Structures are given as C-alpha cells and as structure tokens.
C-alpha cells in the first residue's frame, strides 16, 4: 500500500517510528524532515493532496494532539481524516466512515498504542452497505461548499 505520511515537529519522531515499523508499506514522506518548529497545516495539505489525487492509497498525519493536523487535512477535498486515540476508533473510522487519512497524537498517545492504532487502521476495510450512503452524504456536503 502507498501511504502519504506527514507530521509537524511534534510528530516527527512518531512518524519515523511508524515508517520503520511498517516496512511492508511504501511511504511517501511529505515532511517535515526535522524537529524544527513548523506549521502542521502545510504538511496536512501535502499528505491530503496525495490521497485525494490518488497518488497515495491512504495517509497518516501526526501532530502533538492530532487535532490541528486532522482539521487541516479535512479541508482537502476528498479527504476523510479521523483522529484515533485507540484501536476501536481506528477500526470504526475505516469500517463505517471509510476514513482515508489517519491522524495520530504524538504527545497524547504512547508509541506502542500508536503502532497498534495504525496496525488496526491499515488492515481494516470499509464495510460499505448502509455506511456507503452516509459517506456519500459527507461528499455532498463537501461539494456544496
């Protein structure tokens, strides 16, 4: 799977940990590339555009709380970013919401839990069915803006 991955300075270490843990995936690291202070919206947009364009199958974005970077990623048309703080959220974001970007909180979620969340998220498929109608409605809201 081709995964766009991005972080700000707070998520830089966790981003590298995830890339090293999931060697079976092809990561397109769109930044940041250091722990120097930077702005998360810049990197959320880059990752989101990779996913929305189809150049990546999925995305992972990381900042300190996961909140800012998930909000920014969701501004990219076609992105459904989900901030997940435990495995059940990761599973349901994929099964029911067809989330295509996972947001993680580097300063809130421990490394082991973050890896488990990403593992669940990456292996879970969309259920479709009644959930498809709801995801389509999200797209209609986005198109009306």
Q: For 85-144, what is each residue's pLDDT tens digit?
A: 999 999 999 999 999 999 999 999 999 999 999 999 999 999 999 999 999 999 999 999
Question: What CATH number corresponds to the domain at position 74?
Answer: 3.40.1400.10
What's the mean pLDDT when you consider all of the chain?
97
Active site positions, annotated: 63, 96
pLDDT at 107: 98
pLDDT for 61-88, tens place per residue? 999 999 999 999 999 999 999 999 999 9
DSSP codes of every residue in 58-80: EEEEEESSSHHHHHHHTTSTT--
Span 36-45, pLDDT tens digits:
999 999 999 9
How many structural domains does the chain have? 1
Could you list the residue range(s) of the whole structural domain that residue 69 is in? 2-144
Among residues 89, 101, 96, which one has the least CA distance to residue 126?
A: 96
Best CA proximity match to 114, nearest among 10, 14, 12:
14
């Amino acid at each position: 799977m081709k995964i766009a991955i991005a972080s700000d300075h707070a998520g830089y270490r966790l981003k590298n940990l995830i890339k090293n843990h999931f060697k079976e995936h092809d990561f397109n690291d769109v930044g940041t590339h250091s722990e120097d202070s930077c702005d998360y919206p810049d990197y959320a947009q880059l990752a989101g555009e990779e996913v929305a364009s189809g150049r990546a199958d999925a995305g992972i974005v990381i900042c300190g709380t996961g909140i800012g970077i998930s909000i920014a990623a969701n501004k990219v048309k076609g992105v459904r970013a989900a901030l997940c703080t435990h495995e059940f959220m990761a599973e349901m974001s994929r099964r029911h919401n067809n989330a295509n970007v996972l947001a993680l909180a580097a300063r809130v979620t421990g490394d082991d839990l973050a890896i488990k969340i990403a593992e669940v998220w990456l292996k879970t498929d969309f259920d479709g069915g009644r959930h498809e109608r709801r995801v389509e409605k999200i797209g209609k809201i986005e198109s009306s803006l």
